[in-house]
A and B are shown apart, each in its own frame.
Chain A
Amino acid sequence: MSNAEEPAFLDAQLKKARLGDRAALAVLVRAHQHSVYSLALRMLGTRELAEDLAQDVFMQLNAKIASIESSQHLAFWLRKVTSHRAIDQLRQRSRLQTAPLEEEALSLSVVDGGDPLLHRHLSNLLSQLTPPARAVVLLRYQEDLDPVDIARTLDMPINTVKSHLKRSLDMLRSNTPGTDLTQRTGDSL
Chain B
Amino acid sequence: MKDLESQLRAALRPAAPREAFTKTLLAQISLTRQPRTTLRRTAWLTASLAATLLLAVGARQHVQDLRNRESGLEARRQVIEALRMTSQKLDLAYEAVKNQSASETPGA
Contacts and interface: CB of A to CB of B under 8 A. Distances in A.
Interface residues of A, number: 55
A108 B37 CA distance: 38
A108 B26 contact: no
B5 A142 contact: no
Contacts of A108: 12-13, 15
Interface string B1-45: 101110111111111111001101110111010111110000000
A63 B33 CA distance: 9
A62 B38 contact: no
* Chain A interface, DSSP helix/strand/loop, else mixed: helix
Nearest to B15: A108
A122 B25 CA distance: 30
A30 B26 CA distance: 9
Nearest to A54: B17
Q: How large is the interface on B (under 10, 10 to 19, 20 to 34, 35 or more residues)?
A: 20 to 34
A138 interface: yes
B67 to A, nearest CB: 44
A176 B7 CA distance: 11
Contacts of A29: 22, 25-26, 29
B32 to A, nearest CB: 6
Contacts of B38: 18-20, 66
Interface of B: 1, 3-5, 7-18, 21-22, 24-26, 28-30, 32, 34-38
11 contacts: A18-B38, A20-B35, A37-B15, A55-B25, A59-B28, A65-B35, A111-B13, A122-B7, A141-B5, A169-B5, A173-B4
Given A59-B29, A141-B5, 18 more contacts: A20-B38, A22-B29, A29-B29, A33-B25, A54-B21, A55-B25, A55-B28, A59-B28, A62-B29, A64-B35, A65-B35, A66-B38, A109-B15, A115-B7, A118-B11, A122-B11, A142-B13, A179-B3
